Each structure stands twice: as C-alpha cells, then as structure tokens.
Chain A
Amino acid sequence: MEATVGTWLQALFTILLISIVFKDNPAYRFAEHTYVGLYAGYTVALQYFNYIRPNVMDTVLAKKQYIFLIPIIIGLLMYTRYFKPIAWLARYTISFNLGIGTGYVLSKDMKPFFVDQIRATFLPLWGVADWWKLVSNWIFVIGVVTSLIYFLFTLQKKGVQGHVSMVGRIVMMVAFGAAFGNTVMARVALFLGRMQFLLIDWLKIVKA
C-alpha cells in the first residue's frame, strides 16, 4: 500500500513537472515548490544527523574537544552580517575562508590541473607506428596550439595570426558542438528516466 501511494505520488509529480514544457501553470508551481521544500527539509535533517550532531554533540560536548569551538565560532561569525552594528565581524570569516581557499587551491591544484595537463599535450608527432594515433596526436596538438593562439588578444588577427586563430576557432566550434550533443543526450536521458518510471513502475505497460 505504502509503495503504491508512493508510486502514484511520484507519477503525479512527474506529470505536473513535465507540464511546464507546454505551458506554465499553477500545478507545475505547486509541484516545484513541494520539491524545493522537500529537498530543503531532507538537507537539514541530513546535515543535523551526519554533521552537526556528531561534530558538536559527540566531538565537542561528549569528548570535550573544545578546540573545535574555534571553527564553529568562526563559522557563526558569518551570521553577524545580519546585525548592522557587528556586521563587520563577518569579514573575518570571509577573509579566513578566502585565505584558506586560495592557499589550498595553489598548493593542491597546480600540478594536476596545470602542469600535468600541459604535459599531456606533449605528444609524439612522428615515429608512431599506429597511423591513426599519429593523426590523432597531430590534430590534438594543432587544436591546442591554435586554440591558445586565438586568445592572444594583444596581437591583431591578421595574416598568419588571423589564419591560425581561425583554425583555433573552428577547433573550439567542434568542441562546443560535441558539448552541445552531449548536453542533449544528458537531458534526453533525464526525461527517459522519468518515462521509464511512468511506463514500467506506474502504468506497468512495459516490462522491466
């Protein structure tokens, strides 16, 4: 019974939410607001049981590890922005987070997302036995170099620079096309999931 009610509710809300593609309507708004409210409630409960309770109740209060009060206080200072006389205190939290974030990113991200990515473009352009691999390497290297040259805005896009930039532009257009194709595929898959639910789990006119 519980499962049946759940399935019907899911089906109802799926249909209400899909109705937006034909016309904005109050039923859609109702479903949208219900989802937002449900997710907010879910998140609050999850945050409490998985984060606040184990950290504050168990670690700080039960185990008496008061050192953790420092980050809690720094975090709470963020809310002082809602009280004008002490709103300036929130800046300490923002500065602290900015400093930590910047230092963290610089120390951790430089190698994997800068050095290693550049290194990955150093591909052999001759002496490769597999001809298809060789062609791929050339396309890859030319694509990277020409795309980077496109962004050299201090040079006028004329003559050789203009032609090379044009190649870079074409490479990027191909990449954007691929990205768009993948986006379409992802959106269709999202809808497909709901259709599978409606036809298999709800209406049961398709076998799983």
Chain B
Amino acid sequence: MASTTVEAGAAGHGAEPRGKRTDDGQATYLIAIAEALWEEMERDERVYLLGEDIGAYGGAFKVTEGFLDRFGPERVMDTPIVEETIVGMAAGSAMEGLRPVAEFQYADFMSSGYDEITTVLSRYHYRSGVPMPVVLRGPSGGGVRASSFHSTNPEPWVAHAGGIKVVCPAFPGDAKGLLKSAVRDDNPVLYLEHKWIYRRIKEHVSEDPDLLVPIGEARVRRQGDDVSIITYGAMVHRALEAAAALEERGTSVEVVDLRTVYPYDEDAVLRSIEKTSHALVLSESYRYAGIGAEVAATIAEKAFEHLDAPVERLSPPNLPVPFSPPLEDAFLPQVADIEAAVDRLSAW
C-alpha cells in the first residue's frame, strides 16, 4: 500500500502535543496535560511515565499518544494491570532518584495500589528522609455516564492519608501549570484530571515551558459580593454557570476554585467569606467526611464572626455513582441545585 493512515489522537504520533491545539491556539484540558508531560520530559531526563496501555496504545484517553515514539519505551513504560506494582515501581525509582509520573487508567482503580500509596508514598519520607517525587495521575469524576467503577472522586481517600498533595484542576491552564509543579515537587502528588473536562473545556494556555501554577493556591474565578461558592474540579464549571444565572436575578456570586484540595488555600477561602458572609461549599466528592466537610468546618471555626448564615454544603451522598442517567443527574449537584442553594443562603 502506498499510503498509510495516521489516526489523529489527542497528541498525535510523535508530534508535540502543542501541535494539537486548535487553529487559534487554544488547548483542551487534555492537550494541556499532555503538553505539561511532554515539556517536563524534555526538560528533565529523570522524568518518566509508567502505566497501563500508555505507550503503544497512547493511554485510555489518549493523553500520552505519541510519547512512546518520542521518548522510547524506557521512559514511556507499559505496565501489567497491577496498580500495586505501578505505585511500588514509582516509589522505588523515586527513591533511586528518578521522577516518575504514574497513570491510573481510571482514578477509581488506585484503590488496588492503596497500600503502596498510604504505607509507602505518604510515609516513606518521614521514615527515611529521602525525597519522594512521585506524581500519580488519574481521570476522576462523574457526569459522563460511566457508572460506579469509572466515576469516582477519590480525592478524600488520599487527602486523608497525609503526606500526599492532592490537586484537582478545573481549567486547561491550571491543569498544565499544576502538573508541571507536581512533577517538580519533591513530595508525592496525586493529580486528578476530571474526565468530564477533558475535551469540553479549552482556553488559551501559556506556551512558556516554565510557567508553573503553585500547588496550594486557590483562584477566584468570578468576583461577587453576596454568596461565595467554594469548589473545585468539574463543579467549578457548574458553579460558574449558576453564578451567571444568579447574576441575572440580582445575586452576586463569588466562585473560588480551590485547584488544590490538599493542602488547600484556607486564606483565600476566609478572605472570600469575609467579603460575602455566605458560604456554599460545593464538591463532587462525598458529603460525609469529604473535602467539602473539611472546608465547611474551617469556615465555621475561623470565620464565625463573618457569617450571616449557616455554611451550606452541596455534595453527593455516600453512594456509588449511579449508572442510570436520571439517577446520576440526581446524584451529582446540578446547576439548578446550586442556584437553589444560593437562593436559600441569600434568603436565610
């Protein structure tokens, strides 16, 4: 055959992910993640990738498509379907001075590597003093009709482990800058990329290979005076949509995107509450003992005298994410739920 067909994936075979931006230079969240990995691998030879089907297949979501051709099998390593081995290898090679970025096909499956995550990754530095520059990546979150094994928000599991930073970007620019910060961080970092955002959200992303977004800093995505919505991940987009609708009805909503959920930016949260006196804590992780519970508790402790209404939480119940579309919609906070919660708070 004279012609060969190259299937256009996310990053393209052997091509820089940047070449996969839109014509006007915007990057999707997924491409931004690929760019960050590519640039960090070019910058630092110690950075390598490992995970299931990330090499020849280019990853379940095609984030690492083209990486094998460019960086070779030693730095883009396909592993067996054993998460415990993936995390264990990452930890061991980090002890020896490498900077691994391990991918879970779905963040849900990190539970199979949980012993290595909690017992080794989170503890080893405290035990031995050696740095543990490991990044664990995984697609998280629901809203994509993927059922209970492929829709989990595991950020509280790992935030509770202690010793591991947990990052949940909502926008392509943050996704890129935070992943680069995570790779350069000497601590283990869990980097959760929300699969609902992957191809839905795009924006102009810096091409500066050293533009980092610091871990642990929130960003106010929308300024407002009446009610603060503290959120992260895909819920940021729902909050912004609700805020726009509420603005038309005369309620001014501030949206604080935590970006990092552990350690999270307490000052930014308190500043916002000081301004609006009304707090809606919105998260896609479970309500019970979830990230939202932690944020709400801190507001109650530290901003008591700034509150004009009780702190309200909006998060799913402690149940598996349902497969049935109407049930999944009922399970996840929707724009209408957010609007109703803000209305309740402002009317309190």
A-B complex is real: no
Which B positions have Cβ atoms within 8 angstroms of A? none
Which A positions have Cβ atoms within 8 angstroms of B? none
